[in-house]
């Protein structure tokens, strides 16, 4: 059985600032199937709060938020 947290796609938003990471995340989630995971990489400090709020508001599952220095890594499962 495959790991359910392995991303189907990776979205590189490094160098992009609000609201681009949010807009691109929404677009990419729409392009994957329900149950699949999107990995988002960003360095915009606002991305953490924006993507947490987005996942909660839309019902998608925020599996992981990792910080490595200025870099942020998110794993978001498409729920609907």
pLDDT per position as a tens digit, 33-49: 999 999 999 999 999 99
Return the sign of the alpha-carbon dihedral for residues 40, 64, 22, 55.
positive
Catalogue the active-site residues. 18
For the cut 60, the answer to whether the pLDDT of residue 59 exceeds it is yes
State how far the Cα of 24 lies from the Cα of 69, in Å rounded to an integer.
22
80 band by pLDDT with thresholds 50, 70 and 90: confident
Residues 9-77, CATH architecture: 2-Layer Sandwich (3.30)
2 band by pLDDT with thresholds 50, 70 and 90: low
Q: Where are the domains of the chain?
A: 9-77
Whole-number pLDDT of residue 1:
45
Whole-number pLDDT of residue 52:
96
């Amino acid at each position: 059985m495959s790991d359910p947290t392995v991303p189907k796609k990776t979205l590189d938003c490094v160098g992009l600032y609000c609201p681009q990471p949010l807009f691109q995340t929404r677009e990419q989630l729409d392009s994957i199937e329900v149950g699949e995971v999107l990995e988002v990489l960003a360095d915009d400090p606002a991305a953490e709060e924006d993507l947490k709020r987005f996942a909660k508001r839309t019902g998608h599952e925020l599996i992981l938020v990792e910080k490595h220095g200025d870099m942020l890594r998110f794993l978001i499962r498409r729920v609907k």
